[in-house]
A and B are shown apart, each in its own frame.
Chain A
Amino acid sequence: MAFYENTIIAKQDLAEKDLKIVKDKYNELIKKFSGKVIKIEDWGLLNLATRIKNYKKGFYIHYKFEGNNETLKEFEKKIKIDGSIIRYLTVKYKKLDTENEFFKKDKSINEKKQ
Chain B
Amino acid sequence: MKRNNKNKKRSTNSLTKLSLFQKNDGKFSRKCPLSIKNAPVVDYKNIDLLKRYVSDNGKILSSKVTSVSQNKQKKLTREIKRAKILGLL
Contact = CB atoms under 8 A, between A and B. Distances in A.
B87 A58 contact: yes
Interface residues of B, number: 14
Interface stretch (B1-9, B15-23, B38-46): B38-46
Interface of A, helix, strand, loop or mixed by DSSP:
strand
Contacts of A50: 87
B32 interface: no
A87 B85 contact: yes
A9 B45 contact: no
A49 B85 contact: no
B61 interface: no
B10 interface: no
B46 A9 contact: no
A75 to B, nearest CB: 17
B86 A102 contact: no
B74 interface: no
Contact of A89 (B43, B58, B86, B89): B86
A9 B46 CA distance: 17
A102 B43 contact: yes
A48 B82 CA distance: 14
Interface string A83-108: 00001010100000000101100000
Contact of A102 (B45, B58, B82, B85): B45
Name the residue among A9, A87, A102 with the largest chain B CB count within 10 angstroms. A102
A102 B41 CA distance: 11
Interface in A56-96: 58, 60, 87, 89, 91
Nearest to A50: B87
Contact of B82 (A9, A46, A91): A91
B89 A102 contact: no
13 contacts: A9-B86, A49-B58, A49-B89, A50-B87, A87-B86, A87-B87, A89-B82, A91-B44, A100-B43, A102-B43, A102-B45, A102-B46, A103-B45
